[in-house]
Structure 1
Amino acid sequence: MRQGTSTGHFFQTDAEQALEERRATKAANKNGNPVVLKSKLLAAVPHPSASSSLLIAESTGSVRRVDVDSGETKHVFRGPVTPVTCVAVGGSGNHTVFAGSWDKDIWSWDLETGAPGRRYSGHTDFVKAVVCAKIGLKDCLISGGADKKIIVWDIETGSRIHTIQDQTVSMMALQALVIDPLESTPEAVVLVSASSDPHIRRWRITPSTVEQIKEASPGEPNSVRHSILEHETTVYKLFFDIEGEEVDLWTASGDGTAKCLSRQKGYTTDDIIKHGDHVRAVAVTDQWVITAGRDEDIKVWDRTSGKLYCTLEGHYNEVTDLVVLAGGDRVASVSIDGTVRTWLLHKSELDRINKEKEEKANEVEKETPEETGDNLMTLEEEAELAALMEDD
């Protein structure tokens, strides 16, 4: 362990200090035209009516509307004093911002004026996911928490309609919720949930009932499974590819993969993307699959071949969310490093990035002297030789 005079170095291992120094050096890069904010960014959703704006959940306890083109903050929705982990837009007229917080509550504001609205209290641990839906005639808010519960709320009255837990397989902290746009009806919503265990669950929710949907077991026509089990550990992200013909389910997991689960095949894996580290976010266009997570890089994969096409480097800490912007030719990323970055997805731009990397790699190779028998020993080799001589 290295000791230093800086208070920031106390109790740091060499590896931790090296990581900190690497991130500090990398922070100056301008890749992705960074918008620099003063907090950790934990989630993001597109603004429903402004194509270049995001609503971003911040660790400072606020939701910030940011225009990614101008870099301007258009509004800050304040209230919580603990980190905001998730954000959604919904309610009557799609005019309300909802945010789940570490304080166990869901906060709300008017989207246009920023006026605070109702506060929804009922979880007994952090709120990790929120989504809005219309169930019957009611505008509803659905939240998932670290308390292992899903709660369905009447937005207008703030009352709890349902509290949901898996009664067959122990459900852990909720991580993601999404509404199935194909199977939901005006009378019943089909909700898909993911949690810190690898199980993905589907629920059919009406104003008066909740049913956990059983899945046909792959290859076993006469048996069923109570959940979808296609990952090895935590599933962080769920979304339906509404541009696809089958409206299949995409997932991102701590097992280092993103997967497309085929609806026609009983939500079994149809495509797999091996990102290589914790995958916190996945997004798709008609041409690309984009993944990001703990390793700081954003990886763009050819959707047809499944091969890695380009790696976008710029963030210097974990990437927590990805949003494909209107038009599908750009993706925005948010990170714990406090930056929002926007990346063009044109093939010509990705080719340019790949060419620059190749040229830099060739320059480094030319500058590196060829190894010869006269090379000096490294410091490690000198230390090892000195130790051997002492032993002798």
Structure 2
Amino acid sequence: MQSSDPRYFFETDADQLKRERRATKANNKYGSPIQLKSKILAATHDPLSPTTSILVAESAGSVRRVTLSPPTSTQTYRGPSTPLACLTTGGPHGTTLFAGAWDKTIWSWDLRTRAPGPQYTGHSDFVKAVVCARIGTTHLLISGGADKKIIVWDVATGAKLHTLVDPVVNMMAVQDLVVDHSLQSETEIVVISASSDPHIRRWKVRLDGWEQVVEDAPDAPGAERRTILEHETTVYKLVLDGEGEEVDLWSSSGDGTAKCLARMRGWKADETLEHGDHVRAVAVTERWVVTAGRDEDVKFWDRAEGRLYCALQGHFDEVTELLVVGDKVVSVSIDGTVRSWPTDKAGLDAAVEEQKPKLVEEEEEEVETGPGGKLSADEEAELAALMEEDD
């Protein structure tokens, strides 16, 4: 019988201390945790209940709908036998769920009935990012993988329309994709991609072709600029904020920062937040910028003043996603928990006050685990390598 318990494998002193610290921290109730049975690698909004629930991708190979109030795990979408790394929704009615998997396939389901839909196969490595868009009446699925490729699919037919690659600046594993709806027309969309290299790329996509956005370099007359280069290493997350020409791009990176890249300034960094450690996720509200990542804390930054307002504890492993859901910010983590945080100042002040005492150590019930919820030792190592690939 094989075990995935790290205590049965060689551990450095640092690894052992980290494991013991996380075990001590695991029983805290900050952020009203909803405990699932496996690691949560991604999350997205639920179009059927946009203010009360989210959809999460689990390492156990399923997608789960999680209702935030009252806190509970409800419907599950099954099929894959490998971890799911990314999620999106879209399609003709906006109610098709797409999930990219370690098996190099994009799976789909009907959100209402949970009936499996078509599978999209064409990547040669993990699928790490998915997003939906529409050109005219044609609904598109756009995916990015560890194979360094971005593929554009026709949702209805499953046909692979285009494969986007940067022929000049070597692109590494794709980490995130967003569609810039402010530049969308009936014949063209603009897709923005982040990858394991520090370059952010923009792509114009049509049904009959595509091109990478190349423009004049703002600080080098006569030179071309193929990418937005404001970070030092991996860019994990992209979030568009604003409307029309006022849309800015927030990015989070392995260089320990989240940055506001201003369109009106040629995508130069207008603001830099020094989170520290790898910043895996960023979310934006009218008042706050929220960052989280490998250091486990969820940090709220005052947009008006550009300063850190508070850092909230709770998670005991890396945070993988942040979502604004109604009047809360929701965080999900490798620790298998979904936690909710207030966005009003009084609520944040109360959360800070609650966390002043020492974290409860071993008094709460043991973290729930279940059969099939754990990764094997090999899968644990593979996940760790995947998460750490750009260190």
TM-score (norm 1): 0.87
Greater RCO (CA < 8 Å, at least 6 residues apart)? 2
- Equivalent positions of 1:316-331 (< 5 A) are 316-326=316-326, 329-331=327-329
| Equivalent of residue 351 in structure 2, options 342, 353, 368 | 353
Partner of 1:17: helix, strand, or coil? helix
Report the counterpart of residue 173 of structure 1 in structure 2. 173
Q: Which residue identity does 1:46 align to in structure 2?
A: H
Partner of 2:265: helix, strand, or coil? coil
Does residue 49 of structure 1 match 2:48?
yes
How far off its partner does 1:86 sit? Answer: 0.3
Report the counterpart of residue 257 of structure 1 in structure 2. 257
Contact 2:245–2:263, Cα closer than 8 Å, also in 1 = no
Partner of 1:151: helix, strand, or coil? strand
Percent of aligned positions that are identical: 58
Q: Which residue identity does 1:65 align to in structure 2?
A: R
String of CA shifts for 1:156-177, please: whole Å, max 9, x gaps: 1101100110011111110000
- Equivalent positions of 1:192-341 (< 5 A) are 192-242=192-242, 246-326=246-326, 329-341=327-339
Partner Cα separation in structure 2 for residue 131 and residue 152 of structure 1: 10
- Equivalent positions of 1:372-383 (< 5 A) are none
Larger radius of gyration between Structure 1 and Structure 2: 1
Partner Cα separation in structure 1 for residue 197 and residue 183 of structure 2: 25
How far off its partner does 1:271 sit? Answer: 0.8
Q: Which residue identity does 1:280 align to in structure 2?
A: R
Report the counterpart of residue 375 of structure 2 in structure 1. none
Change in Cα spacing, 1:139 to 1:271, as seen in structure 2 (3 Å) is same
- Equivalent positions of 1:10-49 (< 5 A) are 10-49=9-48
Report the counterpart of residue 137 of structure 1 in structure 2. 137
Change in Cα spacing, 1:22 to 1:213, as seen in structure 2 (3 Å) is same
How far off its partner does 1:346 sit? Answer: 1.2
Partner Cα separation in structure 1 for residue 300 and residue 116 of structure 2: 39
How far off its partner does 1:345 sit? Answer: 1.5
Change in Cα spacing, 1:28 to 1:71, as seen in structure 2 (3 Å) is same
Quote the RMSD (CA, aligned, Å): 1.7
Partner Cα separation in structure 2 for residue 330 and residue 189 of structure 1: 30
Partner Cα separation in structure 2 for residue 115 and residue 166 of structure 1: 37
- Equivalent positions of 1:113-124 (< 5 A) are 113-124=113-124
Of 347-356 and 20-29, the range deviating more from structure 2: 347-356
Contact 1:106–1:120, Cα closer than 8 Å, also in 2 = yes
Partner Cα separation in structure 2 for residue 256 and residue 312 of structure 1: 17
Contact 1:215–1:266, Cα closer than 8 Å, also in 2 = no
Report the counterpart of residue 112 of structure 2 in structure 1. 112
Change in Cα spacing, 1:266 to 1:62, as seen in structure 2 (3 Å) is same
Contact 1:216–1:266, Cα closer than 8 Å, also in 2 = no
Q: Which residue identity does 1:240 align to in structure 2?
A: L
Report the counterpart of residue 78 of structure 1 in structure 2. 78
Contact 2:341–2:348, Cα closer than 8 Å, also in 1 = no
Partner Cα separation in structure 2 for residue 82 and residue 331 of structure 1: 28
How far off its partner does 1:214 sit? Answer: 1.1
How far off its partner does 1:32 sit? Answer: 0.2
Partner of 1:115: helix, strand, or coil? coil
Report the counterpart of residue 102 of structure 1 in structure 2. 102
How far off its partner does 1:354 sit? Answer: 3.5
Partner Cα separation in structure 2 for residue 242 and residue 303 of structure 1: 13
Q: Which residue identity does 1:342 align to in structure 2?
A: S
Partner Cα separation in structure 2 for residue 94 and residue 276 of structure 1: 37
Partner Cα separation in structure 1 for residue 284 and residue 107 of structure 2: 30
Change in Cα spacing, 1:244 to 1:211, as seen in structure 2 (3 Å) is closer
- Which ranges in structure 1 are unaligned for 5 or more consecutive residues? 1-5, 362-392
How far off its partner does 1:10 sit? Answer: 4.2
Partner Cα separation in structure 1 for residue 244 and residue 111 of structure 2: 30
Contact 2:182–2:245, Cα closer than 8 Å, also in 1 = no
